Amino acid sequence: THAHTHPLFSRSAIGTFFQEQPLLTNPFTQDALLQAYLRRHIPVQELEVDLQQFSECVFSEVEALGRECELHPPVLQRYDAWGRRVDRIITCGAWGRLRALAAQHGLVAAGYERTYGDWSRVYQMSKMYLFAPSAGLYTCPLAMTDGAAKVIESLGMPAREAFDRLTSRDESRFWTSGQWMTERRGGSDVSGGTETVARRQQDGGFKLYGFKWFTSATDADMTLTLARITDEHGHTTPGTRGLSLFMAQVWSPDGSTNGVEVQRLKEKLGTRQVPTAELLLDGMNARLLSEEGRGVASIANMLTITRIYNTVCAAAAMRRITHLSREYACKRSVFGKLLKDHRLHMQTLCRMEVESRAAFLLSMEVCRLLGREECGSANERESLLLRLLTPVAKLYTAKQAVCVVSEGLESFGGQGYMEDTGLPSMLRDAQVLSIWEGTTNVLSLDVLRSIGKSSGSVLQAFFIDVRERLLAAEVCPALRPALSSLGTALSALLRFTETAESRPAETLELSARDLSYSLARIYMGALLVDHATWKHATQTDVYTALRWCDQDLCPVVSRDAAGCFELQMAEMDTQLVYDGLKP
């Protein structure tokens, strides 16, 4: 009888319920803020059509390519079958396809063609923003490529052919560039850490000898790098004044390297799609690009571009995870109702959304300023703001991205932790945003540098600009609470900066991070308020500004009041850190 009711052989029953998965749809169509922003500032039909079509390509093709790059990371082939050293970096087919698509769609070129005049950078970076979360970090080589083009352009086109290739739409001509700055002694302290030397050759060229400790997208065609030129006695000048900027092709036409040995590929937490290597430069043929001793100042133009890319990609990562989270909330049911009907869950997603919107507006503002400067239409205030806001935006959005993506993973519960959903790689890849291109503290010090070098003019530009935006927003009564919080924060910040002038440099340094956060929060608030006063703004836009201004907008003042920047407190900080560690 037993055999009668239970078949002898059966498939094991694993239940009937399967959770529907969140689906990615057209990222442009879904993005209310991006569309509104573009309609407000560049209401050009053909641009909207272009982004719409590009976006279709993103979710129908790029998304799968990015995933393939994650699953098939690059490998280093050191020797060929016959034992010859070849140092070949083998990337998957999808990586090559992303390169072709990037060229065809003009992802770098659009920044230099300047089809939309002052707004060309906003147009280009809107594309990048749509591309980035799907593109398996192909944005990394594109950032450096764009940065190299910018350096060449700003030095008066000493390398025309390279520039043309870096900004080409023709995939067979298109070149990508690396950015080799970091050595074992220092990635932040580049001038203290660079040991690479450059020996002048008879033909006016140079040979480089040194060890580069992190070189991302090493499959690039060319690179910019720093080295110290030796004099006739083989001596070099220490510090920044000894550093010059060089350009070199990485590979020879036959596929062999140009005096480079690839020591190994890095084993990284994330960015696994990108080949990042350690390189021995053993007589790499290179060309001097900058004036001698102007290496750091000359590569700073590349840093501006790559830091802006970092910002855009951070905002894009937040946008992607919030879209996926909200999609999932319509499909996952718990405690008898969908996640979207649990108010506490919606509050969590709403906070992610507010962060994402603030990050988006700051990213686009920096791109707008860059575009204006490049077209010669930036006024003095805008140039100063570009200098100040580039590090502010990079450091703040990177931290936001880590938090928002982490929160986003949690919104999927345990599934957020599962590799085959593709979600964990988003967190791994977000974590690098605050490390490369200058860590949070190093960029905070860059904020101080920009203030010091301009004798405070960048801050004046900041105060005037924010005040104007707040004043213009007074027409909208619903924004009053936000305007009041922002006004209070701005006045407190002004008082702080006025007293800062008389403080010793060490205490100023201690305030650098909180100062940068304050600048970011206040500026983001001003941009949200500004967006909410646009004639087609919605209630949602007003609501975003109000929610943003709920937080401590000026942490530098609250921390100062608590004595955090006093040297005595810094001493206590150190003691606390080392509590229990015997000398």
Interactions with ligand UCC, residue window 235-274 (CB under 6 A): 240
- Cβ closer to ligand FAD: 70 or 118? 70
Q: Is residue 168 near ligand FAD by the rule CB under 6 A?
A: no
For residue 50, give the amino acid letter: D
Distance (Å, whole) CA 426 – CA 352: 15
- 78 φ/ψ angles, rounded to the nearest 5 degrees: -80, -40
Q: Which of 303, 427, 526, 527 binds ligand UCC (CB under 6 A)?
A: 303
Distance (Å, whole) CA 75 – CA 569: 48
Q: Which of 306, 411, 425, 497 binds ligand UCC (CB under 6 A)?
A: 306
Q: Which of 181, 303, 492, 510 binds ligand FAD (CB under 6 A)?
A: 181
Q: Is residue 439 near ligand FAD by the rule CB under 6 A?
A: yes
Q: Which of 59, 119, 163, 180 binds ligand FAD (CB under 6 A)?
A: 180
The answer to whether 205 touches 249, Cβ cutoff 8 Å, is: no
Taken in order 91, 94, 96, 102, the sign of the CA dihedral is negative
Q: Is residue 442 near ligand FAD by the rule CB under 6 A?
A: yes
The answer to whether 373 touches 383, Cβ cutoff 8 Å, is: yes
Distance (Å, whole) CA 173 – CA 170: 5
Q: Which two tokens stand for residue 441?
A: 């503290």
3-class secondary-structure state, position 222: strand
Q: Which of 244, 276, 306, 497 binds ligand FAD (CB under 6 A)?
A: 276
Q: Is residue 437 near ligand UCC by the rule CB under 6 A?
A: yes
- Cβ closer to ligand FAD: 139 or 276? 276
Please give the torsion angle defined by the CA atoms of residues 298, 390, 387 and 240, in that order, rounded to the nearest 10 degrees.
-30
CA angle 154, 184, 397 (to 5 degrees): 55
Distance (Å, whole) CA 132 – CA 110: 16
CB of 188 to ligand UCC, least distance (A): 5
Site string for ligand UCC, 180-219 (x = CB under 6 A): -xx----xx-xx------------------------x---
Distance (Å, whole) CA 406 – CA 393: 20
Q: Is residue 339 near ligand FAD by the rule CB under 6 A?
A: no
Site string for ligand FAD, 202-241 (x = CB under 6 A): ------------xxx-------------------------
User: Going by C-beta distance under 8 Å and a sequence separation of 6 or more, which residues neighbour residue 113?
Assistant: 106, 120, 167
Total residue count of the chain as it appears in this document: 583
Region from 30-38, 103-111, 279-287, 303-311 binding ligand UCC, contact rule CB under 6 A: 303-311
Q: Is residue 187 near ligand FAD by the rule CB under 6 A?
A: yes
Radius of gyration of the chain (CA): 26
Q: Which of 91, 124, 134, 139 binds ligand UCC (CB under 6 A)?
A: 139
For the beta carbon of residue 135, count every other beta carbon within 10 angstroms.
26
Q: Is residue 435 near ligand FAD by the rule CB under 6 A?
A: yes
Q: Is residue 179 near ligand FAD by the rule CB under 6 A?
A: yes
Q: Is residue 188 near ligand FAD by the rule CB under 6 A?
A: yes
Count of positions on this chain that bind ligand FAD (CB under 6 A): 22
The answer to whether 567 touches 507, Cβ cutoff 8 Å, is: yes
Whose tokens are 């059509």? That residue is 49
Q: Is residue 511 near ligand FAD by the rule CB under 6 A?
A: no
Q: Is residue 134 near ligand FAD by the rule CB under 6 A?
A: no
Beta bridge partners of 245: 226
CB of 296 to ligand UCC, least distance (A): 4
Chain residues in the site for ligand FAD (CB under 6 A):
179-182, 186-189, 214-216, 268, 271, 276, 432, 435-436, 438-439, 441-442, 445
Chain residues in the site for ligand UCC (CB under 6 A):
139-140, 143-144, 179, 181-182, 187-188, 190-191, 216, 240, 296-297, 300, 303, 306, 309-310, 313, 436-438, 442, 446, 449, 453
